[in-house]
Structure 1
Amino acid sequence: MPWQEIRVEEQRLLMIRDHEEGMSISELAEVYGVSRKTVYKWLERHDEQGFLGLQAQSRRPHRSPNQVTPEVEGAIIAARHKWGWGPGKLRVKLFQQDSRVPWPAVSTIAAVLKANGLVVSRRNRPRVPIQRPPYLAADGPNAVWNIDYKGWFRCGDGTRVDPLTISDGFSRYLLRCQHVEQTGYELTRAVFVATFQEFGLPGAIHSDNGTPFASVAPGGLSRLSIWFVKLGIVVERSRPACPQDNGRHERMHRTLKAATAKPPQATVRLQQQAFHAFQREYNEERPHEALDNKTPHSCYQASARCYPRRVPELEYGDDMETRVISQQGSLKWKGVRTFISEVFAYETLGIKVIDERWVELYFGPIRLGWLDGYRQTFSRRKPKALIAEEISVIV
């Protein structure tokens, strides 16, 4: 019969006594329903340890071949204090520094960090499935840049710090991490001019819906994003209250905050130095899983599109008329002025005539809305009269 679950040690002891009384190994295996190998095992255990040898023993090996030595553990802890990275990035960095050392698995490094109190547990939160608009794919360097003003904070002397961050969506290369004294159009534009002059122009720029990147004007355009469009850059914006649409940039912000603002530096000058140090480490030393553990610096190259000395004027197709918006933000059509937005002052809009009543207004490739030539009113939403006409044609 096989071993019983209750008092199994006594079953083994009975087997030992039967063997001492002369039963063969084959007979014991048949009577107790176990293999000959198992009979030999318990006989040897009894000879070595007596009755204690018949009790269930831990399967933990006496010596683990993967046990971390004090030297390796110390190197892991030192690397954590130096860079503050997670176990995956630390293993890559340690291997790059000395490939002769048998560095343990990521899970073992994580256990070392946790055992030494170097892990802060995050609160588990329910995840909502993400549904993204059809943004352009960041399939190469400078295809899409991600931009944002990281949340402001104060230095030790009380001065407010507003870091403007610009990163490449493909390589994660951090192009700028710079404090800007005022987050309005002029100073923000100056940072982008310097960035464009150094790295060239991207295909698209992705931002949130805050100022100075967006506004409540038609098309969500601001003075800054109007400038982007005139430079031939596609403007993308996250959905309202959806930071996950710019997720990789937001994750970088968390790393930036942990490395440079906990706690903040004493002065703005020292804080900017901390930003520069973080930027160098993030680009040149920190490996990234999405890049096959390469650094952003090794995956980035400047754009072939150079920043022009003069911003070109927008061009429209032959099927469009054009009008220049007045300083007050109005457009003149059929002798009557209609207010559009002051943000387009002195800019040229494209006008696509639908019929004798309706026209569509464009700024470059962006449709701003519809103008009613009869009532001289502007609407950002498609007028119901036009929708009704389209439905009647389909029916």
Structure 2
Amino acid sequence: MFVEYDSGNWSVSELCRRYGICRDTFYEWRGRRETGDPAWFVERSHAPKQCWQTTDADIAKKVIAARRRFPYMGPRKLLRVLESKAAGIAWPAASTIGDILKRAGLVEPVKRRRRALDQGRPCTAVTGPNDEWSTDFKGWFRTLDQQRIDPLTVVDSHSRFLIEVRIVAPTTEGVRPCFERAFREYGLPRAIRCDNGSPFGSRGAAGLTKLSVWWTKLGIAPHFIHPASPQENGRHERMHRTLKKQTSAPPARNARDQQARFDNFRRHYNEERPHEALGQQPPAQAYTASLRAMPERAKDPWYDADHRVRRVRGSGEVKWKGEFVFIGEALVNELVGIAELETGDHVVRFCDLDVGLINRNGMFTRFAPPREGLREPGEHPA
């Protein structure tokens, strides 16, 4: 086009009409050529040089500084923290904060995963603090000195308050002192949600162990999830993912340093970290201790007059109609009540739990834990 223009045989209007461009475009390109730039003909970006919506540089620096201080918080949580520290500043939206962090290289790309279908079994509804706690062991790992670490975690299901993160042995003897401290400090919950593995649950009568028997005597109902169904304790599993990322990747030098990390995480999680399910409030603002104080000792259960009371022997058996009937090792030295049914069979109860059935032939059949919506129809009593 410019060769023809330089020949002088064509006017600007004729050239623009011939090549389908406007006169302004022609003069723009002619001006570039006259600058002498050897790359004057290269296509340039159409992005505006300046945008009035650009976030102020000082605010962007404060956002980046907050992210460096709390590297595990996303844009929404960072916005909540910034607003609490300086409410008078017009902070950008969470989406804009995310863009600022991306430009600063502070966001790691996450591989998208196909979401699994919801099976429609939500966690037990809770209406207030201490209606239900949840507990589990985060997967074990080794510190740098090759010592095995088994972190026990306890969370209030309503407020998401992290009650305990403690390195203990995964046994009843290792776990019980941890719960004793929690009960004395925060009071007794109405229920504790847990899985079916030791030391919480078993394959015995009603899924009980020595630990869950102790809970039951204290008036705490054990809520066992379905076997191999960690999604039924999804709140707890989600907390474990955050705990692992912030405290054990990589692990500490030894168990003492690892426990110090857990203690710092618990304080940060409860008092500083905004929680999505709480409207971006930290759990400590939603939690209050239970009014049910822990007694000095757990009392033996009381049964109605139509029950025959037996104490389970050291072998796990009770004496029944001249014969020894095995009930379960978890109930050793505990009082059970035996009541007759209309069928002629006898139901065995511990506190308010039905743990099994003694038929007319003296054979004991254990009951599975009472679970809402059992998938296995043969698990619950007839």
Q: TM-score, normalised by structure 1?
A: 0.79
Match of 1:291 among 278, 294, 297: 278
Matched, 1:380 2:366: yes
**Cα distance, 1:62 vs. partner?**
5.8
Instruction: Tell me how far apart the structure 2 counterparts of residues 99 and 49 of structure 1 sit (CA, whole Å).
Output: 49
Matched, 1:350 2:359: no
Q: TM-score, normalised by structure 2?
A: 0.81
CA shift digits 1:176-200 (9 cap, x unpaired): 11111x2111121001001101000
Instruction: Tell me how far apart the structure 2 counterparts of residues 176 and 183 of structure 1 sit (CA, whole Å).
Output: 15
Match of 1:108 among 84, 96, 112: 96
Match of 1:80 among 67, 72, 75: 67
Partner of 1:69: 56
**Cα distance, 1:143 vs. partner?**
0.8
Partner of 1:123: 112
Instruction: Tell me how far apart the structure 2 counterparts of residues 52 and 141 of structure 1 sit (CA, whole Å).
Output: 70
Contact persistence 2:354–2:367 (CA under 8 A): no
1:177 aligned counterpart, secondary structure = strand
Structure 1 unmatched runs, 5+: 1-12, 18-44
The residue type equivalent to 1:150 in the other structure is K
The residue type equivalent to 1:348 in the other structure is L
Instruction: Tell me how far apart the structure 2 counterparts of residues 273 and 246 of structure 1 sit (CA, whole Å).
Output: 26
Partner of 2:213: 226
Instruction: Tell me how far apart the structure 2 counterparts of residues 316 and 123 of structure 1 sit (CA, whole Å).
Output: 55
Cα RMSD (Å): 2.7
Match of 1:140 among 115, 124, 128: 128
Match of 1:176 among 164, 169, 178: 164
Structure whose residues are more often helix by fraction? 1
Partner of 1:251: 238
Instruction: Tell me how far apart the structure 2 counterparts of residues 266 and 244 of structure 1 sit (CA, whole Å).
Output: 32
1:356 to 1:64, Cα distance in 2 relative to 1, 3 A: same
Instruction: Tell me how far apart the structure 1 counterparts of residues 155 and 110 of structure 2 sit (CA, whole Å).
Output: 28
Contact persistence 1:165–1:175 (CA under 8 A): yes
1:317 to 1:110, Cα distance in 2 relative to 1, 3 A: farther
Matched, 1:89 2:77: yes
Instruction: Tell me how far apart the structure 2 counterparts of residues 248 and 381 of structure 1 sit (CA, whole Å).
Output: 28
Contact persistence 1:113–1:119 (CA under 8 A): no
Aligned length: 338
The residue type equivalent to 2:293 in the other structure is C
Match of 1:196 among 183, 194, 200: 183
Instruction: Tell me how far apart the structure 2 counterparts of residues 156 and 248 of structure 1 sit (CA, whole Å).
Output: 29
Partner of 2:10: none
Instruction: Tell me how far apart the structure 1 counterparts of residues 196 and 343 of structure 2 sit (CA, whole Å).
Output: 35
Contact persistence 1:137–1:143 (CA under 8 A): no
Partner of 2:146: 158
Partner of 1:208: 195
1:333 to 1:355, Cα distance in 2 relative to 1, 3 A: farther
2:192 aligned counterpart, secondary structure = strand
Higher RCO structure, 1 or 2 (CA under 8 Å, sep 6+): 2
Contact persistence 2:131–2:190 (CA under 8 A): yes
Contact persistence 1:206–1:238 (CA under 8 A): yes
